[in-house]
Amino acid sequence: MKTAWIFVTYHTSHDVIQRLEKEICDLFHKDYRIYWIDNTDNNKGYAEGVNEGIQKAMSDGAELLVVCNTDISLLHIDKKKFFEGSSHFDIWGLGMKQRGVLYYGGELDRWRMSGGLVKEKPNGRFVERDFVSGSLMIIQRKVIESIGRWDESYFMYYEDVDFCKRAVLAGFRVGIDSALMYEHMETSNTWSEKSYYLARNRLRFLLTYGSLPQKVYEFIRLPKTIYKERATLRDILKRNSFLKNFLSLNVSSFIGKLLNFILFIVLIRYLNPEEYGIYTLVWAHISLLSPFLDLGTSSYGLLYLSKEKDDKINNLFSLRTYVSVVIFILTIALGIFLRFDTKVIFYIALTSCVIFYNSISGLFLIVSSVKEKAWKASIISVITNAVLIALLIGAVLLSGRLLAVFAVTGIMYIVYAGLYVILLKKEVKKLTLRFEPRAWKNVLSKSVVFILISFFAGLYFKLDIYLLTKLKGIGEVGIYSAGYKFLEAFMFIVASYNLISLPGLKKAFDGGGSLVKKKIMKDAVFVLFIGSAVAAGVSLIGPFILPFLLKGHYADSVKVMSIVIWALPIILVSSIFLNILYVLKKTSIVLVIFIAQVVINFVLNMLLIPHFSYFASSYITLTSEILNCIFAGLFVWKYLREWENDRI
């Protein structure tokens, strides 16, 4: 049987290579070949090195492939028995002596899907296992021909567990020959990145192959996992600026949402529905034009700014500043055009100072991200947000007047805008305001479709507020918004799903139609379970808890909440379809879907609000999300079929 020995080397000495060549020669005098794959200069990762060796071995007609680490010894293997495992298994390993302990293959934890080595010696010689160690894995050619090569995205660790799992799912036999033993010195045990890759890849393996109960269990025990791995996490964050920045941004975002929800509870306890309706209307109106504030400059800045060139930063600073002035004026003018009450327009003028704050703080985040210091922006954001919320709560408790809330809001956002200008000046040698339309044209040329998507998506979520105000009154807006707030509170689940699903979705498209369909089904089951569980919990528990938080005249807000919260699982499923459309580069279709949503929402609210008030808006929200999900699903079905036909 023609046998290929595949070794992936990394700073491996010539003495080790000579030793292994001699040990293999003592086992096999003929009909074998050794493939040395050197990863010293490219550091591709173990799986990629193995795959390079597999490709060469398969081309040379190898029938049996032995994947090995260089830190093993084959001295104690009985060469007469080496091939006997082939009649029992398609993939197999041997007993492994490591740090004085004998291991006999590996098993998966049935709850956490983590791989662990088995110390107990089996009764028989040939024993089935969930996986065998990649330090010495023997693979029959037919396995590679059926399931393909190793998954290179693991880089290091768990790629052997993944390969064995795929083989078992394809119907192949995996096990160990306990009568034979090799020694593994495990030189990688001193590698500084080991803990990180083990933790990351174990989680990846769970998300890929774990059942829904297993994923839920892992989510529930997350605090325990973090506590047990706290030393590893600290070490990873010290050495990995990306993770530090990524986690800091998400943590600061979560803290911000939590603080704002606390403010919401205080507001609805001390403001009547009409006052809270005005508060909601003002913020809805100000955020209506917010998609035009960025104009794609965040994406441009992250892609094209460098740590050294301040001229481009000044261009962005100038563009964002001028645009914020225009948006500020248009926001107030639009309120006048819509004939809002003078008091409401005054509140809009005060609160519109947030436009300048968003412009400058957003640029500071861009610059910090480019300089790999996004954590700095996160810390400042948490502190400033906490101070603002504390002052707003104090204004409500001390005065009980809405004017005090908006006055504090306007003053603090002007102060914060000035603070961020000072912070920017520390990051940029010379911060200047310029007028350079030609330079701005390059920034704006490719951002139009995304701006329009953001605008119509925002309009869809705010349209019912405007129509309730015009057709019923500001008090109804307050009751509806208080109930709707609980749906908004759980929208972080949608954002989190989008964040973690897009990379996996892109990878599924690289693998073919079957992987895409499998990914869609698994994600759909997962998000439906999570979304429905949250909706059911809020619907069941909310009516008992909320009366203690809300005043009597907010009683109908509980009913609104119980209706709109069921939009959450539908929004999650829609996110799957919208992400697929983004991956397929069908952004224009996404825009069409949101425009259709706006039209449907407008027509239904105009027809039904006069008769059913905020209950109409509640059911229309749910109905619109169902229609959005159906439309997006139909487009995905159409374009997936076209995509599959193009691949054939």
User: Do 522 and 548 reside in the same domain of the chain?
Assistant: yes
Judge whether 103 lies within some domain.
Answer: yes
Domain boundary among 154, 177, 192: 192
CA of residue 251 relative to chain centroid, distance: 13
CB-based contacts of 388: which residues, under 8 Å, 6+ apart? 408, 409, 412, 416
Distance CA 362, CA 204 (A): 32
Contact yes or no for 413/353 (Cβ under 8 A): yes
Q: Compute mean pLDDT per 10 residues along the chain, 648 residues long, and list them.
A: 89 90 83 89 83 93 93 87 91 92 91 87 92 94 92 86 92 94 75 70 85 81 73 61 55 80 87 90 89 62 49 77 92 93 94 92 79 76 92 92 94 94 84 74 66 80 88 90 87 73 69 74 86 90 74 80 94 90 85 90 93 93 92 90 76
Whether residue 161 sits in one domain with residue 60:
yes
Domain end (from 192, 225, 260): 192
Q: Residue 583 CB: number of other CB atoms within 10 A?
A: 15
Question: Going by C-beta distance under 8 Å and a sequence separation of 6 or more, which residues neighbour residue 390?
Answer: none
Q: How many domains does the chain have?
A: 3
Is 8 in the same domain as 126?
yes
CATH of the domain at 58: 3.90.550.60
Asked if residue 81 and residue 71 are part of one domain, the reply reads yes
Q: Tokens for 49?
A: 């090195």
Does one domain contain both 439 and 452? Answer: no
Integer-rounded Cα Rg, in Å, for the chain is 30
Is residue 204 one of the residues assigned to a domain? no
Is residue 472 situated within a structural domain?
yes
pLDDT at 193: 65
Q: Is residue 226 assigned to a domain?
A: no
> Looking at residue 513, what is its pLDDT?
67
**SS3 readout for 398-460:** HHCCHHHHHHHHHHHHHHHHHHHHHHHHHHCCCCCCCCCHHHHHHHHCCCHHHHHHHHHHHHH
479 shares a domain with 606:
yes
User: Do 376 and 266 reside in the same domain of the chain?
Assistant: yes
The answer to whether residue 353 is domain-embedded is yes
- Provide the domain limits for residue 321: 240-446
Query: Of 426, 446, 466, which closes a domain?
Result: 446
Residue 234 within a domain: no
pLDDT of residue 588: 86
Whether 403 and 467 map to the same domain: the answer is: no
| Residue 198 counted as domain residue | no
For helices 273-288 and 474-489, angle between their N-to-C axes, nearest 10 degrees: 70
Instruction: Kindly report the pTM of this predicted structure.
Output: 0.60
Q: Are residues 55 and 180 in the same domain?
A: yes
On whether residue 231 sits in a domain, the answer given is: no
pLDDT, residue 418, reads 93
How is the chain split among helix, strand and coil, in percent rounded to 5?
70, 10, 20
566 shares a domain with 487: yes
pLDDT of residue 279: 93
Residue 257 is predicted with a pLDDT of 81
Asked whether residue 350 falls in the same domain as residue 361, the answer is: yes
| Pair 467, 582 in one domain | yes
